[in-house]
């Protein structure tokens, strides 16, 4: 996954569609997930257990919160 993130950053720089890395986060899904730390450019992505988008999504995929 880290290699894919690096490739995504390279693509975004080539096409001048940069990411706001400060707003990027990682949510680990599943019980057997090794919970690896991911990096975009030189910034480690913040790990979250829930995130509010159009609704609140949590790592257990429930909408109650």
Instruction: Report pLDDT for 29.
Output: 87
Per-residue confidence band for 25, with pLDDT thresholds at 50, 70 and 90: very high
Q: What are the domain boundaries of the chain?
A: 2-58
Instruction: Report pLDDT for 59.
Output: 76
DSSP 8-class letter at 2:
H
Per-residue confidence band for 49, with pLDDT thresholds at 50, 70 and 90: confident
Structural tokens at position 25: 């986060």
Write down the residue that tokens 């490739």 correspond to.
Answer: 7
Instruction: Report pLDDT for 65.
Output: 58
State the pTM of this model: 0.75
Average pLDDT over residues 22-51: 91
C-alpha dist (Å) from residue 23 to 2, 19, 60: 17, 8, 22
- What 3 state SS string does 3-56 have? HHHHHHHHHHHHCCCCCCHHHCEECCCCCCCCCCCCEECCEECEECCEEECCCE
């Amino acid at each position: 996954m880290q290699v894919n993130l690096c490739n995504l950053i390279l693509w975004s720089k080539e096409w001048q569609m940069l990411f706001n890395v400060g707003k990027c986060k990682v949510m680990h899904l599943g019980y057997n997930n090794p919970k690896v730390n991911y990096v975009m450019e030189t910034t480690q992505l913040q790990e979250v257990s829930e995130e509010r988008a159009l609704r609140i999504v949590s790592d257990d995929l429930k909408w109650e919160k």
